[in-house]
Chains A and B, each alone.
Chain A
Amino acid sequence: MSEGLLISVYIFVLAAFVGFEVITKVPQMLHTPLMSGSNAISGITLIGAVLVAGRLDSPLNTYIGLIAVILATINVVGGFLVTDRMLHMFRKKPDGSK
């Protein structure tokens, strides 16, 4: 148990360092898509929600799971789509248009 916990803490700390390294390089121009995109990724909590909704433990658990699945899915689908919509608008100056 405690060994597993320690490994998880390791993973958390290392991932945080990776996050700092990767995200510091994102330019100001892309901070809004970064935020909505990373937000969408955090909807990965959906995999936990799916298990809660699918185990059919008790009606209460299933309702909790259903709400969690709805919220997480909105987070994932809405987040990725709106990020894509924004990034689609970022264009370079067309060459030779002057």
Chain B
Amino acid sequence: MSGGAGGLHAVLTDVVYLIAASLFIFGLKRLSSPATARSGNLLGAIGVLIAVVATLLDRQILGYGPILIGLAIGTVAGALMARLVKMTAMPQMVALLNGFGGMASALVAADEYLRIAVGRAVMTPDIAVTIMLSVLIGSSSFSGSLVAFGKLQEIVTGRAVTYPFQKTGNALLFLLTVVLAGVLVFGGPDPVLFGIFGLAALVFGVLFVVPIGGADMPVVISLLNSYSGLALAATGFVLRNNALITTGALVGASGLILTRIMCNAMNRSLTNVLFGAFGTAAGQAVAAAEGRTVREITADDAAILLGYARSVVFVPGYGLAVSQAQHNVRELADLLEARGVEVKYAVHAVAGRMPGHMNVILSEAGVPYDALLTTEEANPIMPRTDVAVVIGANDVVNPDAIENPNSPLAGMPIIEVHNAKSVIVIKRSMATGFAGVDNPLFYRENTRMLFGDAKKAISELVRAVKESVPA
């Protein structure tokens, strides 16, 4: 690849790789605004395309059969997946693609190991170390992503799965893989031991994700995204290919930033998310609601409240995505806007199952992106908001997070709907949210509960607004 031999042809290939890497950076930069994001994505695609074409002309390639078969299968499968996936299923889709990328990087590094081992060539320590890193990170991100996919798709339980000696077991397994890697680096080439090492990495990836609950998946997916980038960079070091190194660093950084944002939004440390086995306690004892009453509201009364308001803010949670209510919410918003109501949406960073997921779901329903507010943007306008409508969200609107220092949620940034003049909470039952904590918002003077499935409740509101509020 890069490096001395090969002359002009190799230099040209390297120049193309440099252009590709620049296109990636430029493309990511354009992702910072919805107006330019689509062209940014296209630049990235062009970058990969020219890099692949340049590689196809490489003189090391002796036969095109397997390459073309692989490209054909991959293109068809990838295109089908991209076309068929539902927007609510985007987290599992990204988890899967992530895992595939990580595994591909690991396989390329593994092949290099086998080539050197069989060819009895000299394996320098830096090559050996980076091969081990690529295989370890790439394989475990692959198997970990598959488990995340299974949890999100609900093929396996979304709950945090725990068993005795779990952490000790995982730590020992990790130690074992590191020792194996050490033996492989300092001992002679040993393809069998190398295979065992690869298997151990795969098992580790599974056991790493199993104890993490479904609602913590935004963190896991971000982290696995970062790992697939690091595996790519490690493979870049193995092949001495600077395009892979650059791209791997970019993706690694991207995943790390998103991981940090997700952890901050939940006010939990990464360690707590990964090893805390949050979300195990099914019916955790909640400080009983005795003596406090919730006030119910009918759809018709709620419609009057909404129809004659000046400003309404919708606060969507995962419950909205589960019942596919986004289109109904949009319909309700349209009706309200036609009646002169100003409508906004306050989206918490962890609303949904991956970073930014709720924004995609709302955009799919045709909500314009200028109406989508972040927590920081929404809180200042809350006191001026007439009605805040909470749809299938719970922990992210729990005032205990700022008012009760003893709450498990204390310190978590929340959308301060309790500051709005009135709050309508659409919820199936009085069940607690993911954190298993009672929510004092429901008992407040200015809160009204509208019980029911999000989609049904919103369609009821749509009907009631049409009937009782003239446009």
Contact = CB atoms under 8 A, between A and B. Distances in A.
B55 A51 contact: yes
B297 to A, nearest CB: 28
A23 to B, nearest CB: 5
Nearest to A57: B115
Nearest to A79: B97
A23 B31 CA distance: 8
B280 interface: no
B82 interface: yes
B252 interface: yes
Contacts of B111: 52, 61, 64-65, 68
B289 interface: no
B71 interface: yes
A76 B78 contact: yes
B364 A89 contact: yes
A74 B77 contact: yes
A15 to B, nearest CB: 4
Query: Range of interface residues on chain B?
Result: 35 or more
B241 interface: yes
Nearest to A62: B66
Interface in B106-139: 107-108, 110-111, 114-115, 118, 124, 126
Contact of A36 (B27, B97, B229, B253): B97
Interface string A25-60: 111111111111111111111111111111111101
Interface in B49-85: 51-52, 54-56, 58, 60-64, 66-67, 69-71, 73-75, 77-79, 81-83, 85
Contacts of A13: 249
Interface in A51-98: 51-58, 60-62, 64-94, 98
Query: Range of interface residues on chain A?
Result: 35 or more
Contact of B104 (A11, A72, A88, A94): A72
B60 A54 contact: yes
B35 interface: yes
B246 A15 contact: yes
Given A26-B31, A68-B107, A79-B97, A55 B60 contact: yes
A18 B66 CA distance: 36
Nearest to B42: A84
A42 B62 contact: no
B240 A8 contact: yes
A8 B2 CA distance: 11
A61 to B, nearest CB: 6
A28 B225 CA distance: 17
B101 interface: yes
A7 to B, nearest CB: 8
A26 B199 CA distance: 37
B18 to A, nearest CB: 11
Contacts of A31: 258, 261, 354-356, 359
Interface stretch (B367-375, B385-393, B427-435, B445-453): B367-375
Nearest to A86: B360
Contact of B372 (A16, A26, A29): A29
A79 B239 CA distance: 24
B38 interface: yes
A73 B56 CA distance: 14
A49 to B, nearest CB: 6
B67 A54 contact: yes
Contacts of B93: 36, 78, 82
B40 interface: yes
A48 B87 CA distance: 31
Contacts of B441: none
A78 B82 contact: yes
B355 A28 contact: yes
Contact of B37 (A30, A42, A49, A50): A30
Contacts of A53: 66-67, 70
Given A64-B110, A89-B366, 17 more contacts: A18-B25, A29-B359, A31-B261, A33-B41, A34-B31, A39-B101, A39-B251, A41-B48, A47-B17, A48-B108, A54-B58, A60-B114, A65-B67, A77-B78, A91-B368, A91-B369, A92-B368
Interface of A: 1-2, 4-5, 8, 11-13, 15-16, 18-20, 22-58, 60-62, 64-94, 98
Q: Which 3 A-B pairs give the minimum distances between C-beta atoms?
A: A73-B74, A69-B70, A31-B356
17 contacts: A16-B249, A27-B32, A29-B34, A30-B31, A37-B27, A42-B232, A47-B243, A50-B61, A51-B58, A54-B64, A54-B66, A68-B104, A71-B101, A75-B100, A81-B82, A82-B82, A82-B93
